[in-house]
Amino acid sequence: MTSGSFHIRPARTADVTQIVEMTQPLVERRALVPKETVSYYESIQEFLVAEVEGTGEMAGFGALHVMWEDLAEVRTLASHDDWRGRGVGSALLRRLVERARALGVQRVFCLTFEVEFFTRHGFEVMEDQSAVDPEVYAELLRSPDEGVAEFLDLARVKPNTLGNTRMILHL
Ligand SMILES: CC(C)(COP(=O)(O)OP(=O)(O)OC[C@H]1O[C@@H](n2cnc3c(N)ncnc32)[C@H](O)[C@@H]1OP(=O)(O)O)[C@@H](O)C(=O)NCCC(=O)NCCS
């Protein structure tokens, strides 16, 4: 069991290798969306990292991706197996939601198997697409981003999302 504490900081490019390594088993379980390494570099400013005090090791990470004026997604949130159940995921999620507030977003989406965890943080299961009006839906269709396609529940990404639950937090 790993001991010690951690702090949350913005991610750096040097974190990408470890992020990719840690996402691999979660991608295989379809808990996280498969992505090319270049996508992690391109989106590194969206990421926060939980760094273990003193060691520089990573206890977890997570990202906030803005989709529209009032809408963002928490994505690629994960804690290291050795750190599960010790507050890493919650600390990251709280900071990502703070970021969403600071950006002026009013709703935060996530697609997850971890329904209880997100429910404890105020997220609700989405019954339908009512979170976006038809005009915004049409605009979001133009996005090349796979996470946005999953939010829209497009047929081409359904194999990735099978069994996941769509949830939303109203800020
Ligand atoms: C979801 C996930 C990020 C949660 O990470 P975590 O670090 O275990 O989260 P926390 O420790 O904050 O919370 C987990 C549990 O530990 C408990 N807990 C929180 N702080 C704690 C602490 N200091 N000590 C002991 N337990 C604690 C919480 O009550 C929580 O209970 P729950 O599992 O019944 O909700 C993690 O399980 C994960 O990596 N899942 C796979 C990836 C994924 O599905 N991500 C979501 C989609 S983007």
pLDDT of residue 151: 84
User: Coil, strand, or helix at residue 21?
Assistant: helix
The verdict on the CB of residue 147 being under 6 Å from ligand 1 is no
pLDDT of residue 128: 72
DSSP label at residue 15: G
Cα 69 to ligand 1 centroid, rounded to whole Å? 29
Which residues of the chain fall short of a pLDDT of 70?
Answer: 1-3, 129-131
Which atom of ligand 1 is the closest one to the Cα of 117? Answer: 35
Cα 84 to ligand 1 centroid, rounded to whole Å? 6
Which atom of ligand 1 is the closest one to the Cα of 79? Answer: 39
- Residue from 35, 80, 90 to probe ligand 1 pocket by mutation (most atoms less than 8 Å from CB): 90
> pTM value?
0.92
Domains of the chain with CATH codes: 6-170 (3.40.630.30)
pLDDT of residue 2: 60
**Which helix (DSSP H) or strand (DSSP E) does residue 10 occupy?**
strand 6-10
Partners of 62 in the β-ladder: 48
Partners of 112 in the β-ladder: 165
The verdict on the CB of residue 75 being under 6 Å from ligand 1 is yes
The verdict on the CB of residue 117 being under 6 Å from ligand 1 is yes
